[in-house]
Amino acid sequence: MQLIKPDTNIDFVGKRKLALIFSAILILVGLTSLVVKGGPDYGIDFVGGTLVQVQFSNPTDAAEVKKALAGLDLGSPVVQHFGDGQSEFLIRVEKTSAELKGFSSHILAALEQTYQKGNVDVRRVEMVGPQVGKDLRSKGLQAILYAMLGILVYVSWRFEFRFAVGAIIALAHDVLITLGMFSIFGKEIDLPIIAAFLAIIGYSLNDTIIVYDRIRENLGKHHKESFSFVVNRSVNETLSRTLLTSGTTLLVVLALFVLGGGVIHNFAFAMLIGVMVGTYSSIFVASPLLIYWEERKTAKAK
């Protein structure tokens, strides 16, 4: 079976202005949301706080849960519905349980008063002190920066510097859009999301390098053709592979998104966006960037 005919020649390069506008809009929308909301919505991993996941044997709703907790001095707890069904909730509090001793048992006791004993199960408690949160945040940023730096060096070594720059810009593009989407959908950024970002970086780069590799190969073969022709041809030649691999990866990520459960939901969401944007960017961003670079160089030469 073939999705893409061997002699396919779609003019991707010719649509690069359009792609540029599309990317700019996506990034701008995301950035606007980020600015309006005053930065990314960090989870307790990065700002500190306490998170308690509770499950009730009978369905209830967030307002009800909040009411049951009203007697406790929790500051302003946020109660959020979690996973599928109406029986699981996340309770998030800014304070850390260093200040609130026996935190989870207090919450359990308060909930049991409303919902009866045996109907409430505390399934998970996470408490992160503000100092640890700060450390994790800076470590997370460092990890992303170091990964990008390592990639810059590796791609410069295996290819050329301009390829490396193109790849890095494409990566920044992917991470920015995913970050923006997180903000728009009001999803929190916590530790696993940093892992997802790095996986997206790895995946998107994987994609970009396959195309670059073909461009490198074709540059040796077709001396007489223009640079943009070679780029477009290379994108077309690898198109079948790009679509198939993205397809299979999307399939599994979708499986994770739908079946993986609440704890992994946001991670899968990040990957879902990342894989789509990463595929798009290796065709429409990373490759055209090489052409812009080339055009600037020839313009300067004149």
Partner 1 sequence: MSNSLKYRGALVLFCLVLALFSLAPTLMRDSLPQWWLDSVDPIHLGLDLQGGMHLVLGVDVDKAVESRIDTIIDQTETQLREKDIIFKRLERRQGDRLVVLVYDEEEGAKVDVLMTETFPSLEAETFPGTGGYIEKHYRLSDNEIANVKDYAVRQALETMRNRVDQFGVSEPTLQRQSGNRILIQLPGVEDPDRAISLLGKTARLEFKMVAEQANVQDAIAGKLPPGTQLLYERNVNPSTGVVTETPLVVNTKTVLTGDLLSDANVRIDTRFNEPYVSIDFNAVGAKRFDQLTAANVGKRMAIVLDNTIYSAPVIRERISGGSAQISGSFTSQDATDLAIVLRAGSLPAPVKILENRTVGPSLGQDSIDKGIKSILVGGLLVVIAMIVYYQISGVVAVVALSLNLLFISAILSMFGATLTLPGLAGIVLTVGMAVDANVLIFERIREELRLGKAPKLALASGYGKAFLTIIDANMTTLLAALVLFQFGTGPVKGFAVTLSIGIVASLFTAIFVSRVIFDFFLHGRNVKRLSI
Written as six digits, the tokens of 39 are 């930065």
- State the nearest-atom distance from the C-beta of 29 to partner 1, in Å: 26
Q: Report the distance separating Cα 158 and Cα 156, nearest Å.
A: 6
Judged by CB under 8 A, the chain residues 258 through 277 that form the site for partner 1 are: 258-261, 263-264, 267-268, 271
Q: How far is the CB of 173 from partner 1 (least distance, A)?
A: 16
Phi-psi region of 226 (alpha: psi -120 to 50; beta: other; left: phi over 0): beta
Q: Which stretch binds partner 1 (CB under 8 A): 72-80, 111-119, 248-256, 291-299?
A: 248-256
Contacts of partner 1 in 90-149 (CB under 8 A): 96-98, 101-102, 104-105, 121-129, 131-132, 136, 139-140, 142-143, 146-147
Q: Which of residues 273-302 bind partner 1 (CB under 8 A)?
A: none
Q: Which stretch binds partner 1 (CB under 8 A): 16-24, 29-37, 111-119, 197-205?
A: 197-205
Q: Are 40 and 182 in contact (CB under 8 A)?
A: yes
Q: Which is nearer to partner 1, 79 or 272 (CB)?
A: 272
Residue with Cβ nearer partner 1 (169 or 256): 256
Q: How far apart are CA 219 and CA 285, in angstroms?
A: 19
Q: Binding partner 1 by CB under 8 A: which of 109, 165, 191, 219? A: 191
| Strands of the chain, DSSP E | 49-56, 78-81, 88-93, 120-128
Contacts of partner 1 in 5-64 (CB under 8 A): 6, 53, 55
Give CA–CA dist 143/164, Å, rounded. Answer: 18
Beta partners for residue 258, in sequence order: none
User: Of 20 and 195, which CB lies nearer to partner 1 in the complex structure?
Assistant: 195
Q: Distance (Å, rounded) from C-alpha 99 to C-alpha 274? A: 39
Contact partners, residue 221, CB within 8 Å, separation at least 6: none
Return the residue of 35, 244, 292, 296 that touches partner 1, per CB under 8 A. Answer: 244
- Is residue 59 within 8 A of residue 85, CB to CB? The reply is yes
Scan residues 154-173 and list those touching partner 1 (CB under 8 A): 154-155, 158
Q: Which of 232, 249, 279, 281: binder of partner 1 (CB under 8 A)?
A: 249
Using CB under 8 A, pick the residue from 80, 114, 218, 245 that binds partner 1: 245
How far is the C-alpha of 32 from the C-alpha of 131, rounded, in Å?
A: 29
